Structure 1
Amino acid sequence: MLVGLLFVTNIAGWNLVLMVIGLNFVSDLSGMYSGGLQTPLIVGLVGENEMAEAQGFTSGVSQLITLVAQFVGSGLLLFMSYSELAIVNALTFLAAGLLYANIGASVRKQQPDQKEEVNDQNFFATISSSFKQVRQAHGLLTIVLVVAMLNGLLSSVEPLISIVIAGNKSMLIGSYSFTIALLGAAAAIGLALGSAVGTKLLKNTSLFQLSLLSTISSAIMAVVILNKSSILCLILMTTLGFLAGTSSPKLMQWLVVSVDRKILSSSAGLLNTILAIAGPLMTTLFTTIAGTINVNYALYGVLGLSAIVFTVTLIVMIKVNKTKQAKIA
């Protein structure tokens, strides 16, 4: 609402930009915090065993809405001012808040005597507890790092393709901008389908197996880019997105059953932070290699990292399976 009001004032350009950036930072920070609070809420509504499907469905629908909303938002700008659009945006957040308040009131009516477990530890103690409990779940910490690297590879591939396409007109599908938009849409559709449908279709497929498939797809993707095939790039971007979209909810379910409920939100936040950091770091690494040396060397790096991640995942999967079999015996 404040952003909407600021747009109708006579504040000088850069001062207005800085104020809007500051408000946007607070808004994003609040959004991330509320996103973390959603995890224990979803677990409470559907139970631990259905967490992956519920999380996947929520993420899939959210990504599809985001895709549609980008087009709708662009269309609204044709006949609405920035100020009016900001106020409409604020009203959607208000509607979401009222929906959550309604769910909370409904749960309190159904379970009036239920006492919530509250975490009374400070920030650092909570992070330490989360880390210890994640480490105790054999293989979980490794697979968190593996999925983070896979997300990083997926984030890195798109800019590398853009660099290759810019120097090879034979890869264009229509125009350069349309080709890049198609690649982004392919990844987004794959993520949405993986989250919404993949968690059901691959319910009995382990996270380790999905990670192995993802590393193989990443390696093939690097080879396909080196061979400059646009159509295969589109197919593999969708495949990588699908596998990433399926893996994340499964990873969250493993986390849910491994840590105490009262620190679940903080643990989910820690997990999401690790996953979020990997993308920019690896994108910076590979695009720097592409810019300073050659894009082919960056793609060889993707290929090599995929092989390393595949090997580590395979070793950990074998160890975890042996441990499970020993416990059963």
Structure 2
Amino acid sequence: MSVNNNADLKNDFELSNPPEDSISDMAWSSQQDFLAVASWDKKMRIYEVLSNGQTIGKAMWEHEAPVLSCHWSKDGTKVASGGADKAGRIFDIASGQSQQVAAHDAPIKSVRWIDAGQGGSLLATGSWDKTVKYWDLRQQSPVATLNLPERVYAMDVVNQLMVVGTAERHICIVNLSNPTNIYKTLQSPLKWQTRTVACFPNGSGYAVGSIEGRCAIQYIEDKDQSLNFSFKCHRETPSGVNQPAQVYAVNALSFHPLHGTFSTAGSDGSFHFWDKDSKHRLKGYNPLGATIPCTAFNHNGTIFAYALSYDWSKGYQTNTQQYPNKIMLHATKDEEVKPRPKGKR
């Protein structure tokens, strides 16, 4: 286990021409190194990342309020975005045009493409209006609506698994072969508000992070419940006796697409790589001087993108003009993202 002095980050590339306000979400294309970025400046942007680390702005479209989520279609031809304007939009790469395709009664917190069979796809939008709606882009109204116990705070999809974390610590698990029914609802194993969820790449479970510097690994099926566990992260232990630990929100969880290892990033401005199967931290970095609101691995896991940007955890007063607002690209090393050999402690 190593927490580094950040020397390994000195060669990370900074993305040129980043958004003008806080970065809320990032997503990579599964086809090539194109990065979509959602921001509080009401804009969505797409950047191409070249092999030398240089970045080129490729596209931009606007919402009428801060954009909170983005996601690429599986074939890399479209990007979905959702925001505080209660609208879901689609940007078509070929035409360079965006259009509104989804609407809710409250802000859209999360958007995800889902497989609809026969090569087709639907857009799922999760909102603070306590619903997930499913949209066929050829129709104006949703093809189905899933009612939830509370507002959507986090959502992720892998294959036929959709996991939705809501207010009041509900976790709703949906089998997308039956998308209008909740397969299981449970309380988060973490005692405080859910901040982020991420599905395992193989769809057998998910990770959940909360505002109190904890992460939980949860399996879907009852036979695997003995593998569930939670752990502390993103907290500073004071040197003085009887001083409380400084606890920070876990803002982002990202799974490596090939190895199944994962990263956590938080309001303390640090990120760490973990192997859930050996319950081991592979590599950790010291805080970088700004909160990290979102992270993402590219399609083959060779690039880890992390945003250094305000996460609003201390209210609007702390978001000053001087606060960093940038996206960094880190070339991953095997020791950071490959699982530990079996039997090695």
TM range (shorter): under 0.3
TM-score when normalising by structure 1: 0.21
Greater C-alpha radius of gyration: 1
Normalized per residue, the structure richer in strand is 2
Normalized per residue, the structure richer in helix is 1
TM-score when normalising by structure 2: 0.20
